[in-house]
Amino acid sequence: MVSSILGPDGRPIERATLGQEIATPTVMGVRHTLSDGVASGLTPERLAAILKSASMGNMRDYLTLAEEMEERYLHYASQVQTRRLAIEGVEISVDALPSVAPKITDAVRALVEKPGLLDAVGAMTDGIAKGLSVVELIWEYQDGLLQPVEYKWRDPRYFQFDRASMTELRLAVDGQFDGVPLPVGKFLRHLPRTKMGIPIRRGFARAAAWGFLIQSLGLKDWAAFAEVYGMPFRIGKYHPSASEKDKRTLLRAVASIANDAAAIIPAGMEIVFQEVKGSQGEAVFGGLTGYIDKSISKLVVGQTMTSDDGASLGQAKIHNEVRLDIQRADCRQICNTLNRDLIPFFVALNFGPQANYPNVDMPVAEPEDVVALTTAVKSLVPLGLKVSQREMRERIGLSEPGTDDELLAPPSSVVPLPDDITDDGEPDPAAAKRGTVKNGKGKGGGKADPTAELAGHVGGCRCGSCLRTARLAADRPTEAVDDVQDYLDEVMEGWQPLLAPMIEKLLATADSAASFDDLLDTLHGLELDGRPLAEKLAIATSIARGLGDIKD
């Protein structure tokens, strides 16, 4: 019976395989990995053979070594973890395409927000080092949709590539030299690319294996050197007439001092402790392992400034940009895998094959220089730039304040009331009698600072001018406080009588002029009475200013 479920390419999909586990471990055979071990006793010849065999399709030992390297080489493990966690820290988003129905986009968005997919992304990052990572999808109906309910990481040693092209990932099965094809829609096959070549040669664990070997041999020799270097060099001196038995006794005494710290020797013999000076071990072995560690940092995260040492903040920022490039590339390749192996199948199984499918993305944000941003905004806002508070909060990482939150505010710059002004804004007769302040002068006769007084003209100011304005606003009915534009319309209705005398005089002068030059000479001596118009404009300006003060 042919399945009625169609994949994104329109071909039927076996429904029975969607909910079954396929790449399961076995007690014996090709999918048995519990007893594998390669790193112990590794030699350059053995490593070369492992890498060559992996390139030919026998990648089991190579994948085992790649896993053991993360357990034995601590610096390599920390760098791999740094790169993997940088990917897991990026949120997954869904691009809403105009050609895709909104219900499909919403369903995909709900799928990627589930914790299971986030764990699957973390499992997929394992392939960056090894060259491949596989996650098996267990499909079930949930919330009315056929979707993965479990994402199970599978050991990469359960799989192999086809022997011809070494590019098609297949399931390893006992008795099948070339394995068996993977069912469609069942696996997330992440084959990241850190370099060109067949997939098994793309992971950086292949290059790091040589660093691991050199570091392991160097640490072994350094430990042996430290064991000898930690003890002083012991010399036993015997008398020329000493017998062979006495010599053997002295040799045993010298050898046992390192462990027992006590010995007996015949009379006439002595033991001399020769001190070893210098730091040959630190200079040779320490320099070698330090060089290997820095090379591993460059290989895995692309820099050493933030992983090993740093000279300055500026250099660290430059090196961090290299890490951002690597992070963006890793996220893009993760999204390519999801857009190929998950999203089209999820949509096709629930909504049928589509011409276009939603795409998931993992955008890596640029690190924000908060100091530079706030400095620029502080300088540009007084010049008229309008900046959204919501955008500024998002960019500097501040949340929207709640209704009950205590808010930060600039310190109050309210200027105290002058001594000759009462709380209601009227002159204080008592202050005038005391002679403390009179006509803006203090006891010393100095003038008041107008800058300090104007600085207090903010909301809540209680200086004399602001209090009088507030009192006038309170006494005036609210409906009488019209908009300034309304008052402007009222003023503009009576300007013609004020301009008519001046216009008539100008027209009469122009009519009587014999030429243009004659008109210019006459205009220089022409006297026009503009006092009524100026008075009208001054009154209008004062009233408009008063209306604005009252409303503010």
**What does each C-alpha distance from 211 to 67, 159, 167, 207, 468 come to in angstroms?**
15, 26, 27, 7, 83
Spatial CB neighbours of 525, under 8 Å, sequence gap ≥ 6: none
Question: Token digits for 392?
Answer: 């500024």
Report the pLDDT value the prediction gives residue 439, as an integer from 0 to 100. 46
Rg of the chain over CA atoms, in angstroms? Answer: 43
- With beta carbons less than 8 A apart as the criterion, state whether 253 and 238 touch: no
Please give the pLDDT value at position 483: 63
Region of 367 please: left (phi>0), alpha (psi -120 to 50) or beta. Answer: beta
Contact 341, 187 (CB under 8 A): yes
Among 298, 330, 335, 292, residue whose Cα is nearest residue 126: 330
Q: What's the pTM value of the predicted model, to 2 decimals?
A: 0.61
On whether the CB atoms of residues 54 and 64 are closer than 8 A, the answer is no
Extract the tokens encoding 381. 């806002």
Q: Please give the pLDDT value at position 272.
A: 62
Model pLDDT, residue 4: 63
Contact 23, 136 (CB under 8 A): yes
CA 114, CA 105: separation in Å to the nearest integer? 15
Whole-number Å distance between alpha carbons of 203 and 132: 8
pLDDT of residue 119: 92
Which residues are 234's β-sheet partners?
A: 273
| Amino acid sitting at position 552 | D
Local mean pLDDT, 10-residue blocks, the chain (552 residues): 66 78 81 80 93 92 93 92 90 89 93 92 94 94 92 93 92 90 92 90 93 89 72 69 79 69 61 58 78 90 65 48 80 95 93 92 82 86 86 82 80 54 57 50 47 48 56 49 64 74 82 82 78 80 73 60
Per residue, the 3-state secondary structure of 274-313, as one string, reads ECCCCCHHHHHHHHHHHHHHHHHHHHHHCCCCCCCCCCCH
Q: Are 356 and 339 in contact (CB under 8 A)?
A: no
Token pair in block for residue 315: 């250099």
Percent of the chain's residues with pLDDT above 70: 74
**Which tokens in the block code for residue 79?**
């760098």
Q: What is the pLDDT of residue 312?
A: 47
Give the model confidence (pLDDT) of 457-482 as tens digits.
Answer: 545 555 555 555 555 555 544 444 45
DSSP E strands in 90-228: the ranges are 93-95, 133-142, 145-154, 159-161, 169-171, 180-181, 187-190
CB 112 within 8 A of CB 357: no
CA atoms within 13 A on the CB side of 42: 29
